[in-house]
Amino acid sequence: MTEQGRSHPIDDESTPAFPEDREKREARRAEGPSVRSITAEIVPFLIRGPIRYLRTTLRSVLGSLLFVLLLTVRHGPTRRSILGSFGVGLVGSFGVITASAEDTNGDGDENGAGDRYVVGLEAGTSTASVSRSATQLYRSLDLSSGGSVVVGDFDDDTRRQLEGRSDVRYVEKDHVRQQQVHSAVQPSESVDLSDEQETPWGVERIGATDFHGKGETESGATVAILDSGIDPEHESLEVADGKAFTDCNGGSCASEWDDDTGHGTHCAGTVAAQDNGTGVVGAAPDVDLCALKVLAGDGSGYDSDIAAAIEWCADNDIDVINLSLGGSDEARVLEDALRYAYDRGVLVVAAAGNSGSVGGIDYPAGYDECIAVGATNDRDEVPDWSARGDGIELVAPGDAILSTVPDDEYAYLEGTSMSTPHVAAIGAQLMSQGLPHAEHTDDVDDPGGVRGLLRETAEDVGFDEDEQGFGLLNAFDAFEELEPITTEDVTDVRATTATLNGSVRSIEDASAVDVRFEWRESDGSEWTETDTESIEPGDEFSVAIDGLTPDTEHDVRGILDDGDDTSTANVETFATGLDELAVETGDVEAIDHRTIRGVGKLEGLGDAESVEVSFSVRRDGDDEWEETESQGRDSIGTYEDDVSGLEPETEYEVEAVADGSGERTSGETVTIETDPEPGIPEIERFELTDDSTGQFVRCNVNWGVADRDSDLELVATELRYADDDEELHRVATEIEGGEESGIHTVRNSDRFEGAGEEYEITLTVTDAEGNVTEETEEVTLDERSPAPSIDRFEVSTDDFLGTPETVVDWAVSDEGEELDGVELELCRADDDEVIDESSSMARGEEASGTDSLRGGDADDDETAYDVTMRVTDYFEQTTEETTRVTHGE
């Protein structure tokens, strides 16, 4: 994954926009490196220094390794893995972009990992058949109307078949994206902030310091950092939640989402470093951080892992996603995931890239759902390395950005990776004020909401639109543009009455303000005003009104007068109820095999002060209804209830019911069928293939499992000799969801003893409830071929310098192609004493040769000798023949 982070020496001769900040850095340079700063020299090396520190020669490789060793000797290892630093250093030193350790498929390249592909399916299409066709299944995603996604290893034939299916939208490589490091931070730029707190120049430049504290609400916003993780123990960071979609390298990771490169921790600090008197302070210290680890310790991350993290954000109430990563390749799985999140109210901010005007905007920033962020320096210039393109939406500080790095350290880095967190932080603060991320999610040109407000208040810094977009992020103006009064949801709605609600934000220099509401029928033009009341800024206010028209849409808006100006709030629309008792049966769904959930809508209360609402339920075909426990309601609106104790796979009829003032009414009848009774996990595929080699007895186990409750947990394969309890080999895989498939390879390392034996192979699948299903198959593996054969054994006699000689012309073969050797022996007839012998190497399927055996007395005429030939294979199976010859005949 291309991280849009660059580390870069500060331009000493430039004129800073914030001299005081620059002067502090200059003073540190003059003092020279401290012990802490020398120690911190390892930080950029581990984070992103390798490609600049290390080039393409052996000399630089050795020099860099020596550098790490010296630092380790002098200061000792941190909790990060020193061995891991060597690995990253070696990769970066040659400037090689390599696949991650998971890329073991042979035909991978810099853009993809071998046979690992993403298959996008049409909405409503079952993933079962695609999952079963994968030789290895990694994950599946359900992106709602966008369709499902299956990620796995697929061979060429399978991919061609999938590409031709009408229910498959796309088949694309699951790209492995890599870090791209452009330059290294100098040692003096690692900052010792152990006894002080510094506000980075970027936080000041966008006006975020004036914004601190003003965005606090009872329900703050959450920013998810999709990156290399976040250091969970950093003194300046508080991480509310985290989840790993890739492994954290080494045993020193404090959590599964710990940061083993440093990039994610730097981004997190820019967003929300705490205002605690130590280190740095972020652009929005009040927002919550969520660490989603999608980049591994070697800087790589699969598109599907990033997409899974985006899906998780959409399903777990994340407000803002920060994507300080990118690459030149498009990926439809990322586009699907971004649309899924954007449609569910998530603001997505992504780094535009560091390739200047050459490469255009990186992906995912290039997708419409993302705010693509370029960079500026402290002179309000767009650096030449910041990406250009029509899709640039905003620019933010990205040059020489001071922020947090692992192990309570602080360092300067540069890149659009550093710009993006500024925008994410301010976006989250605005969302905490109740603004949606966008009011019109289908209109990229006029999105409204937070996205629209950031565009409207951006500062023009004099660059072309393809360089600066709408301009430089301006947090102060964005906050100032917020309407001081907000119209909230209308409550207690009946046929002719309702309660109007509003709230007022904090207003400087105002101890009290006058507020009121205006309301009208939605198709009318004249507004009716409520009485004015005086409240303190930051308070909420409500007014009950009557005289409304039944069953009619109405508009309402709040009005504020602070003595100087009058502000009009947003318009909220609500519908009054019917002037009679009325209820509607809404959605009814099966929760499980014994429970259904009903949703009803009370549409009118008639003359009743309050009514009791409930549901009537009966088995389809029965005469008697059963009633759920009633709920009291004094206004229109929806209600729901669960009905339990039902029969599995059975159809039931459901009606919403309302009782009030002696009246009773019900909605239309809805029929629903309960789910099948959950059972133990099922083994759908259990296929064995002998895969033995010249070293091991092996068997490939192609398995597919499913669970009706979608709570699969573990699948394991065990190998043992038939009728023997001792386990020879076990392979296990943690799984989840409703169906999974894959291949396990089990082996017996002792081929000499194990070839040709009968084996039992047991497949076991377990779900989260502890239910277990297993199947056992018997198979003979690496079946031994017959013993080798002697195809030619011709013996003749001769004389060699006065010594009798026996010449043997031989040929042997073996069906198993595992010949091991040929031995010849010469003995006097009826005597076991060996006079002479020889041996010859024999390998493979066939061998032949001519050997001589000498012995005996030349004066012994007509002496009989026995010649024995013996051929052996790998398993010591032997074939032997003996023939008699007479010398001197």
Please report, for residues 335, 708, 732, 761, the alpha-carbon distance to residue 712 in angstroms, rounded to integers and kept in the order given: 28, 9, 13, 21
Task: Report the distance separating Cα 189 and Cα 556, nearest Å.
Answer: 56
Locate 109 and state its tokens: 């390249």
Locate 196 and state its tokens: 């002080």
Identity of the residue numbered 837: E
* Count of other CB atoms within 10 angstroms of residue 798: 12
**DSSP H/E element including 703:** strand 697-706
Contact yes or no for 518/545 (Cβ under 8 A): no
Query: Of 244, 222, 234, which Cα lies nearest the Cα of 293?
Result: 244
DSSP string across 572-606: EEEE--BSSEEEEEEEEEE-SSS-EEEEEEEEEET
Contact yes or no for 623/648 (Cβ under 8 A): no
Catalytic annotation, residues = 227, 263, 417
- SS3 category, 446: coil
Task: Report the distance separating Cα 711 and Cα 739, nearest Å.
Answer: 9
Task: Report the distance separating Cα 294 and Cα 322, nearest Å.
Answer: 12
Task: Report the distance separating Cα 525 and Cα 641, nearest Å.
Answer: 40
DSSP string across 818-878: -EEEEEEEEEETT---EEEEEEEE--SSEEEEEEEEE-S-TT-TTEEEEEEEEEEETT--E
Sign of CA dihedral 548, 551, 552, 556: positive
DSSP string across 354-392: SSTTTS---BTTTSTTEEEEEEE-TTS---TTS--STT-
Task: Report the distance separating Cα 787 and Cα 862, nearest Å.
Answer: 36
Locate 181 and state its tokens: 């490091």
* Count of other CB atoms within 10 angstroms of residue 160: 11
Task: Report the distance separating Cα 200 and Cα 284, nearest Å.
Answer: 12
Query: Of 519, 520, 548, 543, which Cα lies nearest the Cα of 532?
Result: 543
- Residue pointed to by tokens 């603060």: 429
